[in-house]
């Protein structure tokens, strides 16, 4: 009986990442992890507009609109794992990205379906003496499950990699 349960568990563990990409949907491997050359604006008032201009309505995020609110927590976990692995493969700080993705998930309060589809590293220059702080920008498709079945909206979060303080945010309504 234990052997059968182990086999069943292994099968589920192997197949579940594949389940996120059914029905010709782009799979988690199509998420984007990049380093941006352009830093996050130092003026807090300009950050939301910067995030919107850089990430909203771009092919990297719109191709995931076919995902539904059903099973969003499982999809979130699979996509987050892939983003972290991609970051580590590029020599980026995967541990801080994992923490940022955990913070983003907390933001949903379990009531808003989220799907992380991109992670971008950039810098935020601040004082004293133009201190450089690495930042993770995470692009998330979202929807309220009671409102619509598909993830048609976007939120973009920016977090300081060291302090995990949210330093930027934008969303569509």
Please tell me the distance from the alpha carbon of residue 57 to that of residue 67, in angstroms, as a whole number.
Answer: 16
Torsion sign over Cα 27, 77, 87, 64: positive
Q: Any residues with CB less than 8 A from the CB of 120 and at least 6 apart, and which?
A: 32, 33, 34, 35, 36, 55, 136, 137, 138, 139
Give the model's pLDDT for residue 127: 57
For residues 116 and 76, what is the distance between their CA atoms, to the nearest angstrom? Answer: 6
Task: Measure the CA–CA gap between 82 and 59, rounded to whole angstroms.
Answer: 19
pLDDT value of position 130: 52
Using DSSP's 3-state secondary structure scheme, residue 116 falls into strand
β-pairing verdict for 131-143 and 153-160: antiparallel
Is 114 in contact with 104 (CB distance < 8 Å)?
Answer: yes
DSSP state letter for 108: T
Provide mean pLDDT across the span 10-22: 44
Q: Which two tokens stand for residue 124?
A: 């935020």
pLDDT higher than threshold 60 for residue 17: no
- pTM recorded for the entire structure: 0.84
Residue 13: pLDDT band with limits 50, 70, 90: very low
Tokens 């380093």 sit at which residue?
35
Mind listing the pLDDT tens digit for each residue in 42-83?
Answer: 999 999 999 999 999 999 999 999 999 999 999 999 999 999
**Bond before 134 cis per omega within 30 degrees:** no
Per-residue model confidence (pLDDT) at position 43: 94
């Amino acid at each position: 009986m234990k052997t059968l349960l182990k086999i069943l568990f292994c099968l589920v563990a192997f197949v579940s990442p594949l389940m996120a990409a059914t029905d010709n949907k782009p799979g988690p491997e199509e998420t984007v992890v990049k380093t941006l050359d352009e830093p996050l604006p130092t003026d807090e008032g300009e950050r939301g507009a910067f995030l919107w201009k850089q990430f909203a309505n771009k092919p990297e995020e719109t191709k995931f609109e076919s995902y539904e609110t059903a099973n969003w927590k499982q999809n979130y976990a699979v996509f987050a794992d892939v983003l972290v692995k991609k970051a580590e493969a590029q020599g980026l700080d995967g541990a801080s990205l994992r923490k940022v993705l955990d913070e983003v998930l907390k933001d949903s309060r379990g009531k808003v379906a989220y799907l992380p589809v991109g992670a971008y590293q950039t810098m935020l220059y601040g004082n004293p003496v133009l201190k450089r702080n690495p930042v993770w920008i995470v692009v998330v498709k979202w929807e309220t499950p009671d409102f619509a079945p598909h993830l048609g909206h976007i939120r973009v979060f920016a977090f300081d990699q060291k302090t995990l303080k949210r330093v930027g945010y934008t969303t569509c309504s």
